[in-house]
Amino acid sequence: MKNGRFPEDPMKIADTQMRSVWSISTPAPSDKEFGKHPTQKPLSLLKRIVAASTNEGDIISDPFNGSVTTGMATKILGNRQYIGIDMNLE
């Protein structure tokens, strides 16, 4: 987190400790490329959460899958597996 690059967050200064307050915008239009979900989270937020809280080789599960933002973040980070669960088949 300290050495990562987070250009979407104007509050994160390069090579300084991660702050406890993050500045991340609502989902970008590109996040909604495959359809809209009413409570979709920003991909940049989930990428940071998954990177901060998992290691390579881990299995990440989101039992409230929604539009699969956590799964996309896992795929982008790589070297992790993902299990998504949702009561809504759509």
What residue ranges bind ligand SAM (CB under 6 A)?
37, 39-41, 63-64, 66-67, 69, 85-88
- Spatial neighbors of 72 by CB under 8 A, at least 6 apart, are 43, 46
- CA-based nearest residue to 62, from 33, 32, 41, 38: 41
Is residue 55 within 8 Å of 73, Cβ to Cβ? no
Please say which residue, 18 or 66, places its beta carbon nearer to ligand SAM.
Answer: 66
Give the number of C-alpha atoms closer than 13 A to the C-alpha of residue 51, restricted to the C-beta side. 18
Q: Which residue is nearest to ligand SAM (CB)?
A: 66
**Shortest CB 11 distance to ligand SAM, Å:** 22
Cβ 75 to ligand SAM shortest distance, Å? 14
Minimum Å gap between C-beta 16 and ligand SAM is 28
Question: Which residue matches tokens 């991340």?
Answer: 24
Which of residues 10 and 35 has its CB atom nearest to ligand SAM in the complex? 35
Give backbone dihedrals phi and psi of 43, rounded to 5 degrees, phi first. Answer: -60, -40
Residue 3 Cβ vs ligand SAM, minimum distance, rounded to whole Å: 26
